[in-house]
Structure 1
Amino acid sequence: MIIFKATKDTLKDLKVQPDLNEHLDLLMCWHVNIFTLYRKKHYVFMNDLSRLSLTVTGIRTGQSHKLRELVVNCLSDYLVKEDLPAHLIQSYIDECTESIIAKTDSRSVISTSNEIMLIMKSLEIDKEGFDDTDERHKWNNRMIYKPIDYKEPIEVFTHALKHRYTT
């Protein structure tokens, strides 16, 4: 099960009431934040464990029922571009058959997400932004962060997948 921990503005945009969250598997938890980039609404999804981020567009107001499908497809496509082994990607995707939407619970993840959004906004202003979504994801997931011991999010996420799904 995949858990989306949405900010107050995101919950309002999705027109959904949050469920109670007692799930402690950080690899399956994603914080969700909404912002405007290139005059379009975007959602930033950030994994709680690894700080891996995805920036997704195409989610309209009140479409919470499409959230899981869009994120799973985007994540799968991105991980293929990162050359992760297919069995690791499929194992993770297989666990994402259901989803719930809860409230945010980590100020650390929210601040890292805000940092990503700030950087993307500044690139938009400088006209140096990324036209290609995969290129943006790769760039965002190669930043280092203190909460993950100064490692890259893609490195932490890949290590977690290998640890979890390799027997």
Structure 2
Amino acid sequence: MLLFEKLYFIRSYFYMLIQATKKVLDFLKIKPEPPIDNNPLFSWHANLLTLERKKALVLVNDKNRYTIVLYGLTKKHLKNLDELIRESIRITFRKEGFQEDVIEQFIEHSPAISFTKTKDRTTVSRLNKSCETIYFLDDYLDRNSIAQPVLNMHASRFLVGHGKNHYIDPNRELFHDLTAFSGKAVVQTKAVQMKITLDVGQSDIWRRLVVPLNYTWEQLHQAIQISFKWEDIHLHQFHIPEQPARISADTSLSAYIPQHQSFMYIYDPGDNWEHRILVEDMIENYDNMFPVCLEGEGDTPPEDVGGEGGYAYLLEVLEDKHDPEHEHMKNWYEMQGDRTFDLEKVNLFLKSNFF
């Protein structure tokens, strides 16, 4: 048994196995090699999709179901497809926050790529399910790049069926697989500590977050929504104070931080909830793949209350039991759900949303 495992490890070292559908093989104009018994961590199933009239190669890992998409492939890319696949994996893993030496260890462990036919119906069915998810994530498609790290990360955060009545989270499975493979902590990235204060009159409402620096501003938006219990049902924008230009959602935080130390986040232009973001500290070695809320104070106003003025009026009416609007406003407020700040719950939701 030990000899078999040793031989299995040695042989798996030499292959990144791509088990391709007929559509992929026809596009590549190659004949499949004979099937081989390969380590599932270094084995992928592949299909070809058309996204906005361009070819997209979708790879789904056999072990953890993590998805890698290469977008906009043409015939000219085929001669260096092997390197494009490796680079797409490398860029995506880097975006996940995995350590550089762990990424290279993974890539170098399977330097040769072998294309074979698909394995079986079950695996093809799982591949097709992952491909269906891609069609619903076009908002995250980078139309100017072959590598699609943001799209890959979102696609790999959907629960997928893995046997009868069993579901797995691909990005978590990948994290555990790389930890077992490398024998070390796989995440170590730069992060930023920031204090986010919601300007609401005399109320003291703020959260202190640590967020990976490779996150996009869209991901920071999601973290703020969770931390303040907003419902993400209105428009939002980020900008630098005294600079009119908005910050693009798909830009990374590192494009502006630490060069700039303060920002504005406005949620719901109608109610105009202004959040002041102050950069407090830079963290060189952050070992989480998700944001963390360190502390905070104050409960968030309900959605659609009418902004700062409407919220002040609501509190005034709720305080006065003799106000003719009291009962109506009380019932409305109770229907808005629990707005109480709960640090433990915030961190639970941050982790489940991002990891």
How far 1:100 sits from its partner (Å)?
Answer: 0.9
How far 1:58 sits from its partner (Å)?
Answer: 3.9
In the alignment, does 2:71 pair up with 1:57? Answer: yes
In the alignment, does 2:129 pair up with 1:115? Answer: yes
> In structure 1, what is the equivalent of residue 177 of structure 2?
160
In the alignment, does 2:146 pair up with 1:131? Answer: no
Contact 2:20/2:46 (CA < 8 Å) preserved in 1? Answer: yes
The 3-state SS of whatever aligns with 1:30 is strand
Q: Letter of the aligned partner of 1:161 in structure 2?
A: L
Q: Distance in 2 between matches of 1:6 and 1:53?
A: 14
Q: Distance in 2 between matches of 1:62 and 1:22?
A: 29
Q: Distance in 2 between matches of 1:119 and 1:154?
A: 15
- TM-score in terms of structure 2 length: 0.43
The 5 Å alignment of 1:1-167 reads: 1-61=15-75, 64-124=78-138, 129-132=139-142, 133-147=148-162, 149-166=166-183
Identity of aligned residues (%): 25
How far 1:62 sits from its partner (Å)?
Answer: 8.0
Cα deviation code 1:44-103 (max 9, x no counterpart): 011111101111024324855422211110111100110112222111011131111100
- Let me know the Cα RMSD of the aligned residues: 2.0
Q: Which deviates more from structure 2 when the two are superposed, residues 152-161 or residues 70-79?
A: 152-161
Q: Which runs of 5+ in 1 are unaligned?
A: none
Contact 1:72/1:96 (CA < 8 Å) preserved in 2? Answer: no
Contact 1:59/1:67 (CA < 8 Å) preserved in 2? Answer: no
- TM-score in terms of structure 1 length: 0.87
Q: Which deviates more from structure 2 when the two are superposed, residues 142-151 or residues 157-166?
A: 142-151
Q: Which deviates more from structure 2 when the two are superposed, residues 13-22 or residues 105-114?
A: 105-114
Q: Which runs of 5+ in 2 are unaligned?
A: 1-14, 143-147, 185-355
How far 1:138 sits from its partner (Å)?
Answer: 1.1
Structure with higher RCO (Cα < 8 A, 6+ apart): 1
Q: Which deviates more from structure 2 when the two are superposed, residues 110-119 or residues 135-144?
A: 110-119
Quickly say closer, same or farther: Cα 1:136–1:37, change in 2 above 3 A.
Answer: same
Quickly say closer, same or farther: Cα 1:123–1:153, change in 2 above 3 A.
Answer: closer
The 3-state SS of whatever aligns with 2:38 is coil
How far 1:139 sits from its partner (Å)?
Answer: 0.8
Contact 2:49/2:56 (CA < 8 Å) preserved in 1? Answer: yes
The 3-state SS of whatever aligns with 1:31 is strand
Q: Which deviates more from structure 2 when the two are superposed, residues 154-163 or residues 42-51?
A: 154-163
Q: Letter of the aligned partner of 1:141 in structure 2?
A: S
Q: Distance in 2 between matches of 1:165 and 1:122?
A: 33
Q: Which deviates more from structure 2 when the two are superposed, residues 144-153 or residues 21-30?
A: 144-153
Q: Letter of the aligned partner of 1:25 in structure 2?
A: N
Q: Which has the larger strand fraction?
A: 2
Contact 2:21/2:117 (CA < 8 Å) preserved in 1? Answer: yes
Contact 2:41/2:61 (CA < 8 Å) preserved in 1? Answer: yes
Q: Letter of the aligned partner of 1:76 in structure 2?
A: R
The total of aligned residue pairs comes to: 163
How far 1:147 sits from its partner (Å)?
Answer: 1.1
